Structure 1
């Protein structure tokens, strides 16, 4: 693979070029008039990348499966991606500028690398694959997506260019990427070996992206492979998960992160390796009680504390941190660790609090479900569940460790349950049917909570009717904590939750790792 002479640069030239545009908006550096196209077409996918490629670097955009540029003889892929301050950190950045502000920036989305090649006999070796050739050396330009709403392509002209970085993956990360790529390759190869005609292969590949998703650590395949109304097939691309890109972004802007980063002493390069590790741990500790583990691990916390089980699991993994979800190996891969307590009959667990709802996006009419934050969340994340069994409600010291189960959300659940919650809640907003529902006592009087405020909640999807539902989150509910406003209705910040009964039923279908 080689690039033309006009795409060959020195690192010094790149440094001067990109330093010059830092702090300027995409509109200010748009010498090739990319934003003029938005007058005729309101939505232009990848317009930020077009500006960087055609206006800053000065070469025409193409769709070739080859690296974009060469820097001091090294083939390099140029990527432009959005970052922004998470809503949860907005209070922390007030009055801050420069690096003090940038340290809170997070990835807005994943990074698309290249199309999946559907000739596995050609793309057989990872080290010579299009995917690795285009991801081994990345030059990433960051712009700040200064909105929590979905904006038109023309609005991108107001977004500032924040910084850039040269990214090379560690040997450990390369191993994980290679394993992901080989999972895709082997699946495609099996289909090509089994079916002789292209039409048969295409028919049997429909939905394969969802089949493989639970097994992929750092990459995802989007969009899904399916037949379009025209008769042609929609084909996927390899994309680095948003959770992984977020890890890269935060590592770039927070140079001190590595000093406090928590890594497993024995990492894993695939879900199968993680499953094997969990199996080994289970074989060693299954059946042990809280009181036995407290003594064995030297845990000072009382067995009655809510997170005692989590502390036991951290000791099992030999992880030096306070929470399972602080482990970088889990964060990169979108693995959410949730301890589950069941009864001896296998029933009962709490509803799971998942993520804060971004109502600016939620109420936008310019976004499709497949591009929504909630869709990406359920696609990218999986749950690793350490299971404990409560044998005595009064005496938690008798609670035993049972093992691990792991699950991801299948296509059917996402397309039915998650979509239903998304559509029904949006319809309430669009149709002005959102309302506040008070709670009443037996005499028909409005009930008050301990803070003196009237009890109630908006009529968003509830756990009584939905597997994925809304619930407010705050220590107390009063006028001061009801900071979220939707259609003029003040409410607590809203989170989407996963119904506990769904989790129990799901876990009962799974065997222990």
Structure 2
């Protein structure tokens, strides 16, 4: 064995091979077969020399017809046999983790992690360091191998933050969601092109994954030392379903194919690799990559995937996937087939063809969300909402409906809800860490496109044109979306947010026809100011709980994209 490999490593590997029941007929320095010795002398050694490098194990496989020789080399931290340097029994590990639940990270820190970050308020990774160093008891490292050997089973440890869901009661049955995507492992371009999925660094990291959850109990961005106040919620030995593994494999292969293509075409790394994140954004279902080149990107679980795993842990329930979809190409094909079959039908005809039961509104029409139900039915799901379909929820795909006028123009603006605009002033200064950036950069939108036959037509009479799957470009996000974020933060952080009463052109105060209350407006961006803007929403004019300088306005300020902008963006997107 090479002198650089520790004796303990050789002993560990020898034990694993002996446990398989293989019979040793010769030691490393003895001859099992003269032809093997001659072959080793005639070929480069494992260290790249001119022969003579002996394998640590030689396996002779004989099925009665052929004999095949296989060499095994022990490489510390190598891809063939990643060997953790940290060993622990399962009983000891469980004892340590159970003792940590409900304690704050500060209470658990016995290694002085929080003392070390007092002068570094933006330092990341402190929560993970506390779990690894103080709770489990091993030093943190960045090696591309699992962290622990638990009774001989290789286990990767990840610590991830959860937050309370926006707009949900804290006593809800599932009050938590992932705070952010979860980094798994670095993308090493020269390495990933030679790997297969099941011998990749990525698979080594997720095959046996231990997640430790803590509660990011703040609606503001906090300093590293303030993580000491966050409690540990629990831990989970993640069991990925077979369908999840298949989707992760397809995503990983797309990343591998992209890098192989860059290398095959001889494109310089600084020219080819920067496009990795944006080029695959629309094709990856469960994974993404960040940051961008020249920093080596890391493969991450999307935030929605982490949320699904957390929900599974807290409910102790695995929801079965009834869609049988393993990639976006399959997803798109299913919708393409449906669009080809139902193109030109009215909504009423679609509901009849798909046997969808519906209740008319007071106006004798259907709800605007009916397109969502139609898509769920096409995929064989009994649910009416995307959020209830396990795969759609884990993918993080959102439904949108675009109704074109008879002449092909826009009929209304498009709302993108679910963001707490009034909390943006508490966010960090980096736009790429903001809630709105992550929403627009991570989310895929499935747009059901219809055309109205006339301006006064019911939704039931709108004609189905097809489906488009859309994700916003970096250029749009960096210009239109960031402009809104910057403007809003300036108003919030400099106390310039204003709410004003509305008046007619002749100076008469305006009142709501329904509630007879005074109409108000803010100085947040409007559609006349930017393609992405803010508009308050509520049940009616009485639903105004936000008081700014003595004047009430809507607490919920939603994000909208102008209808004309959406039409233009989608014009360049082909129907599925």
User: Compared with structure 1, are the counterparts of its residues 321 and 43 closer, same or farther at alpha carbon in structure 2 (3 Å cutoff)?
Assistant: same
- 1:289 Cα deviation after fit: 2.2
Once the two structures are superposed, what CA deviation does each residue of 1:73-114 show, in whole Å capped at 9, x if it has no partner?
221110111112123113x52xxxxxxx67312111111101
In 2, the alpha carbon distance for the partners of 1:490 and 1:14 equals 54
In 2, the alpha carbon distance for the partners of 1:216 and 1:376 equals 15
- 1:490 Cα deviation after fit: 4.6
Pairing partner for 1:346 from 408, 416, 440: 408
Once the two structures are superposed, what CA deviation does each residue of 1:396-454 show, in whole Å capped at 9, x if it has no partner?
34422211111111110111111111111111222332211321024313212232332
- 1:202 Cα deviation after fit: 2.1
Q: 1:445 maps to what in 2?
A: 508
Pairing partner for 1:56 from 101, 124, 135: 135
In 2, the alpha carbon distance for the partners of 1:245 and 1:4 equals 25
Pairing partner for 1:69 from 129, 134, 148: 148
* Number of residue pairs aligned between Structure 1 and Structure 2: 488
In 1, the alpha carbon distance for the partners of 2:138 and 2:552 equals 50
Determine if contact 1:352/1:498 at 8 Å carries over to the other structure. Answer: yes
In 2, the alpha carbon distance for the partners of 1:202 and 1:185 equals 17
Q: 1:111 maps to what in 2?
A: 182
Determine if contact 2:372/2:399 at 8 Å carries over to the other structure. Answer: no
Determine if contact 1:117/1:123 at 8 Å carries over to the other structure. Answer: no
Q: 2:279 maps to what in 1?
A: 211
Q: 1:97 maps to what in 2?
A: none
Task: Summarize the alignment of residues 254-333 of structure 1 with structure 2, pairs less than 5 Å apart.
Answer: 254-256=315-317, 258=319, 263=321, 265-298=322-355, 299-302=357-360, 304-307=365-368, 308-333=370-395
Once the two structures are superposed, what CA deviation does each residue of 1:110-139 show, in whole Å capped at 9, x if it has no partner?
111011111156543111111111012110
In 2, the alpha carbon distance for the partners of 1:487 and 1:509 equals 44
In 1, the alpha carbon distance for the partners of 2:453 and 2:516 equals 38
Indicate whether 1:476 and 2:540 are aligned.
Answer: yes
Instruction: Give the TM-score, by structure 1 length.
Output: 0.90
Q: 1:228 maps to what in 2?
A: none
Once the two structures are superposed, what CA deviation does each residue of 1:152-176 show, in whole Å capped at 9, x if it has no partner?
1111101111111010211111111
Pairwise CA RMSD: 2.2
Task: Summarize the alignment of residues 81-96 of structure 1 with structure 2, pairs less than 5 Å apart.
Answer: 81-90=160-169, 93=171
What SS class does the counterpart of residue 322 from structure 1 fall into? coil
- 1:48 Cα deviation after fit: 0.3
In 1, the alpha carbon distance for the partners of 2:546 and 2:300 equals 33
Of stretches 172-181 and 345-354 in structure 1, the one that deviates more from structure 2 is 345-354
- 1:360 Cα deviation after fit: 6.6
Of stretches 433-442 and 357-366 in structure 1, the one that deviates more from structure 2 is 357-366
In 1, the alpha carbon distance for the partners of 2:462 and 2:84 equals 66
In 1, the alpha carbon distance for the partners of 2:544 and 2:358 equals 37
User: Compared with structure 1, are the counterparts of its residues 440 and 486 closer, same or farther at alpha carbon in structure 2 (3 Å cutoff)?
Assistant: closer
Determine if contact 1:150/1:361 at 8 Å carries over to the other structure. Answer: no
Q: 2:311 maps to what in 1?
A: 250
Task: Summarize the alignment of residues 488-507 of structure 1 with structure 2, pairs less than 5 Å apart.
Answer: 490-492=552-554, 493-507=556-570
- 1:10 Cα deviation after fit: 2.4
Q: 1:416 maps to what in 2?
A: 479
Determine if contact 2:97/2:136 at 8 Å carries over to the other structure. Answer: no
In 1, the alpha carbon distance for the partners of 2:318 and 2:346 equals 36
In 2, the alpha carbon distance for the partners of 1:317 and 1:296 equals 14
Larger Rg: 2
What SS class does the counterpart of residue 454 from structure 1 fall into? coil
What SS class does the counterpart of residue 27 from structure 1 fall into? helix
User: Compared with structure 1, are the counterparts of its residues 169 and 438 closer, same or farther at alpha carbon in structure 2 (3 Å cutoff)?
Assistant: same
Determine if contact 1:359/1:486 at 8 Å carries over to the other structure. Answer: no
Once the two structures are superposed, what CA deviation does each residue of 1:34-79 show, in whole Å capped at 9, x if it has no partner?
0001222222201000100111112111111111112232211101
Q: 1:142 maps to what in 2?
A: 213
Q: 1:30 maps to what in 2?
A: 109
Work out which structure has the larger RCO, using CA pairs closer than 8 Å and 6 or more positions apart in sequence: 1
Gaps of 5+ in 2: 1-80
Determine if contact 2:84/2:145 at 8 Å carries over to the other structure. Answer: no
Q: 2:118 maps to what in 1?
A: 39
Of stretches 369-378 and 500-509 in structure 1, the one that deviates more from structure 2 is 500-509
Instruction: Give the TM-score, by structure 2 length.
Output: 0.80
User: Compared with structure 1, are the counterparts of its residues 389 and 102 closer, same or farther at alpha carbon in structure 2 (3 Å cutoff)?
Assistant: closer
Q: 2:453 maps to what in 1?
A: 391
In 2, the alpha carbon distance for the partners of 1:192 and 1:435 equals 54
- 1:256 Cα deviation after fit: 4.8
Indicate whether 1:164 and 2:225 are aligned.
Answer: no
Q: 1:425 maps to what in 2?
A: 488
Once the two structures are superposed, what CA deviation does each residue of 1:216-275 show, in whole Å capped at 9, x if it has no partner?
1111111122xxxxxxx22211111101111111121123573xx7x4x33321111111
Q: 2:11 maps to what in 1?
A: none
What SS class does the counterpart of residue 417 from structure 2 fall into? strand
In 2, the alpha carbon distance for the partners of 1:167 and 1:345 equals 52
- 1:314 Cα deviation after fit: 3.4
In 2, the alpha carbon distance for the partners of 1:187 and 1:78 equals 28
Q: 1:20 maps to what in 2?
A: 99
